[in-house]
Homo-oligomer: A and B are copies of this chain.
Amino acid sequence: MNRVLAHTGARYPIVQAPMGWIARAPLASAVSRAGGLGIIETSSGETTACQAEIAKMLATGLPFGVNLPIRFLKDDAMLRYVCDSGIRFVTTSAGSPAKFIAPLHDAGIVVYHAVPTLDTALKCVDAGIDGLVVEGSEGGGFKNPEEVSTLVLLQAIRERVQVPLIAAGGIVDGRGMAAAFALGAEGIQMGTRFVSSRESPVHANYKNAIVGADATGTWVLNKKSTPCIRALKTGFTATIHEQGLMPPETFKGIRSVYFDGDMEAAPALAGQSAGLIHEIKSAQQIIEDTVAEFFAITRRLAALGTAATFN
């Protein structure tokens, strides 16, 4: 039994990451309709707009989730809305979920927390979390400055906790999914892959920059301060990279990156996986290709396992 499927109600354990402003109903519903799990973001801080997006998702009747980024929430309005709305699945991130778990559980909601280290994973399990999104350092967006890769982090967490794990960071299709499952994950989450999907609301310049980037096409920035982020190499991020510090107003122009395609207005968040993305696909194509490739790889490995030989 795959516990991520049991927890989410999705057809496939393929989750779309909660990118601020981007992870709204058009993208999330395309993912959920294709059998994955769309997630609605609330990190934009646009409470009313995000509540409207959640209402749209509820109206579809499709399985979906909501992300609650703890440090970014101004008050408990979003938590209360989520608890009262009939939502079934929530991911928390960016802060300790300890105080959120009880009210969410009381509302019948399953809670996964996104963790970048083993220490955080152990604390979440102690607090009663239902599952973890294991975020390797390859991933885009807000990062822990202590970088641990998806390969190592999955192993380190899997050997110490019993709850289901969703692997995130460096995964764009069935190859990464099969590797993650080999390491004990029961699901995957993809961000950069869905940012560059056909249904993603971002400007073509952003999608094309992801398609054009290679695996060395991102930087981890602001490692000695907060927030530490991974973003595409651009003129804008080159300055931050050189100076080693990120000014407070860095994200002021983020919507110009996303929606006007001005790639020099703010850091264009993306993971190393940009180097593995070579075309813009629909959410349905991404999910169908991922599932087909996952099973093709498990069958190839099966032949080795059955024969117990490397030849």
How long is the Cα–Cα vector from A149 to B170 in the complex, in angstroms? 8
A 289-307 to B, binary, CB cutoff 8 A, 1 in contact else 0: 0000001111101101110
With a CB–CB cut-off of 8 A, which chain B residues contact A310? 2, 5, 12-13, 186
Q: How far is the CA of A209 from the CA of B153 in the complex (A)?
A: 19
Would you give the 0/1 interface string for A75-114, flagging 1 where the beta carbon is closer than 8 Å to chain B?
0000000000000000000000000000000000000000
Asked if residues A178 and B182 are in contact (CB atoms below 8 Å), the reply is yes
**What's the minimum C-beta distance from A304 to chain B, rounded to whole angstroms?**
5
Interface size class of A (residues with CB under 8 A): 35 or more
A295 lies within 8 A of B299 (CB): no
Q: Mark A156-192, 1 if CB is under 8 A from B, else 0.
A: 1011000000000111100110111111101000000
Q: Are B138 and A178 in contact (CB under 8 A)?
A: no
Chain B residue nearest to A146 (CB atoms) is B216
**Cβ of A196 < 8 Å from any Cβ of B?**
no
Is A273's CB within 8 Å of the partner chain B?
yes
Would you call A238 an interface residue if the criterion is a C-beta within 8 Å of the partner chain's C-beta atoms? no
With A118-B275, A215-B156, A216-B117 as contacts: A182 and B151 at CB distance below 8 Å = no
**Contact: A181 with B302, CB < 8 Å?**
no
Contact B178 A151 (CB under 8 A): no
User: In the complex the two chains form, is B302's CB within 8 Å of A301's CB?
Assistant: yes
On chain B, the residues within 8 Å of A155 by CB distance are 170, 172, 175-176, 276
Pick the residue among B175, B275, B308 that contacts A295 (CB under 8 A): B308
Q: Are A118 and B215 in contact (CB under 8 A)?
A: yes
A225 within 8 A of B: no
Q: Is A150 an interface residue (CB 8 A)?
A: yes
Tell me whether A55 is interfacial, beta carbon within 8 Å. Answer: no
Known interface pairs A183-B175, A311-B2; A214-B304 also in contact (CB < 8 Å) = no
A217-229 vs B: 1/0 string, CB under 8 Å? 0001000000000
A214 adjacent to B152 (CB under 8 Å): no
Query: In this assembly, does A137 line the interface, its C-beta being within 8 Å of a C-beta of chain B?
Result: yes
- Least CB distance from A161 to B in Å reads 14
Q: Which residues of B contact A181 (CB under 8 A)?
A: 182, 301, 304
What are 6 A-B contacts defined by CB distance under 8 Å?
A: A138-B149, A148-B275, A149-B272, A152-B170, A295-B305, A299-B306
